[in-house]
Amino acid sequence: YGSTQHIMPKTTTHLPSTTFGSSSPDITSLLDVEQAKGMASRALVEEELLKGNQGILVMADEGRRKQALKTVKKMQKAQIREKSSGGGAGGFGGGGATKKTKVAKKSKSYSYTARLDKDGFGSILINDGVARINNVLKKETVSDLRNYVDDVLEEEIAREAETTNSGSFARVLQPKNRWDLLLPLDTNDSVMKAMDELIGKENGSLNSILDSTVGEDGVLYELAALVSDPGSERQVIHPDIPFESEDSVSLVTCFFALQNIDETMGPTVYLPGTNTEYHHEKFNNRATADALLSETQSVLATLNAGDCSIYNPATLHCGSSNKSENRRAIFYFTFWNPTKDYPGTSNNPGSLRSELRTKPLTLKDLRKHISTWKANNT
């Protein structure tokens, strides 16, 4: 903590250590330990601040989705009128926000496209910064994918013990008993089967929300599994990326539960509506951060196996501590809106294996790849 800048990305480049301007591993390790202690202490303070206004992330019903869609369309029309009259572009999004600010919109930006949002969850994502959709993966697929993640994690932990950097993990906040495991795309049928059920051209369960927010030119930015074992510590609240815009998204991240997740297993905590300039300014100011957290609603993503939470990475969130006796495993992917600036940096490149980063795959590319895989496996 101790800084007015709270932005701490979910992952950074997987390195043995960060130098902090020193060549001494001992000094680096000590600084890492002290930083981790400081974040653990801050995380507990934040947990207390949120307790008075916390609920459960639920799937928006049809009525709420229709209302959100109307709200987004109305704001889009207002923005067009304002731009045509020579005014600035008024922002929208962050349905939970009590204050709004005008946000300069990037030219040629791919904004939310209502006609592609057939089930209305895209409008919930734009408004609230997070949405829940139930039963997006079949039970058999979830079971197969969970077994695969467990097997690969065991293998890679063993390999990591023998080499400095196996290239199979990204660093993650509060790493005790927590791993960000990079996954290959098509070396295992369970991953491809899941991708088919989620984004396959014919009947992908997430086609509506992804097509309406990042479009078919959206680029695969992350493909991994987040695993937290008993004893993993609570993370500090953070956005994965800085604030950029309220009227469109740079990234869309989708978390899929590979088992039922109850309140003791370290569910992700989201602060709906905080994907706004107002909330980021307040959060990044030490003088106002605590007041913001105490007055902002938070929700726990206590998902059932096969459910997902989908969020704008500019939305404030954190992983909570796993106080149970069970592992929590989440399969996830992120798509980047290529009309936005590339969000990756040397310290935060996105959790993606090197072979997938070398040749970027769009949503359209992936659908073709899935169709070919299906044809070869039937």
* Digit-coded pLDDT (tens) for 267-295: 999 999 999 999 999 999 999 999 999 99
**What tokens appear for 38 in the block?**
């400081």
Residue 200 has pLDDT above 90, yes or no: yes
pLDDT band, residue 357 (cuts 50/70/90): very high
Rounded CA-CA distance 96/126 in Å is 11
Average pLDDT, the chain: 85
pLDDT tens column, 211-221: 999 999 999 99
Residue 104 has pLDDT above 60, yes or no: no
- Greater confidence (339 vs 197) lies with 197
| Residue type present at position 346 | S
pLDDT, mean of residues 305-311 = 98
Residue 11 has pLDDT above 60, yes or no: no
Q: Helices (DSSP H) in the chain: which residue ranges?
A: 25-50, 62-84, 121-128, 139-162, 189-199, 207-213, 277-283, 286-295, 354-358, 363-376
Residue 24 has pLDDT above 50, yes or no: no
Predicted local confidence at residue 132, as pLDDT: 98
- Greater confidence (87 vs 338) lies with 338
Q: What is the DSSP letter of 362?
A: B
Contacts of 372 (CB under 8 A, 6+ apart): none
Predicted local confidence at residue 151, as pLDDT: 97
Contacts of 100 (CB under 8 A, 6+ apart): 90, 91, 92, 94, 246, 276, 278
pLDDT, mean of residues 223-241 = 96
pLDDT band, residue 116 (cuts 50/70/90): very high
Predicted local confidence at residue 101, as pLDDT: 35
pLDDT tens column, 59-90: 999 999 999 998 888 877 777 777 777 654 33
**What tokens appear for 289 in the block?**
């951060």
Q: What are phi and psi of 366, to 5 degrees?
A: -65, -40
